[in-house]
Amino acid sequence: MIPRYAPRDLVEMFSDVRRFDTMLEVEILAAEALSELGVIPPSDAAALRERRPHIDEEFVRAVEEREAVTQHDTAAFVDVVQERVGMPEGAWIHYGLTSSDVVDTALCVTLVRAMDVVITETRALRDALAERARDSIDLPILGRTHGVHAEPTTYGTKFALFALQVDRDLERARRARDTIAVGKLSGAVGTYSNIDPRVEESVCRALGLTPTPATQVIARDRHAEVLYACASLGTAVEQFALEVRHLSRSEVGEAQEPFRPGQKGSSAMPHKRNPVLSERLCGLARVLRGYLQSGLDDVALWHERDISHSSVERIILPDALTLTVYVVRQATALARGLVLFPERARENLEVNSLGLVFSQSLLLALVDAGHSRDDAYRLVQGAAARARESRTPLRDVVTADETMDLSPERLASAFDVERLLGHRRRILSSLEFTS
Just list the catalytic residues. 146, 266
Helix H or strand E segment including 31: helix 16-36
Q: With CA atoms as reference, report the closest residue to 107 among 314, 386, 257, 265.
A: 314
* 347: amino acid identity, one letter: E
Bridge-based pairing of strands 148-154 and 140-145 is antiparallel
Q: Quick one: DSSP state of residue 350?
A: I
433 by DSSP, 3-state: which? coil
Q: With CA atoms as reference, report the closest residue to 156 among 347, 350, 424.
A: 424
CA-only gyration radius of the chain, Å: 30
The strand pairing partners of 145, in sequence order, are 148
201 near 182, Cβ under 8 Å? no
Task: Give the relative orientation of helices 99-136 and 308-337 as an angle to the nearest 10 degrees.
Answer: 20
Q: Quick one: DSSP state of residue 36?
A: H
239 near 260, Cβ under 8 Å? no
Q: Is the peptide bond before 41 cis (omega within 30 degrees of 0)?
A: no
246 near 136, Cβ under 8 Å? no
The strand pairing partners of 148, in sequence order, are 145
Return d(Cα 229, Cα 250) in angstroms, integer: 35
Return d(Cα 4, Cα 25) in angstroms, integer: 31
Would you say the C-alpha torsion 323, 324, 328, 329 has a positive or negative sign? negative
10 near 120, Cβ under 8 Å? no
Residues near 282 by beta carbon (within 8 Å), at least 6 away in sequence? 238, 241, 242, 245
77 by DSSP, 3-state: which? helix
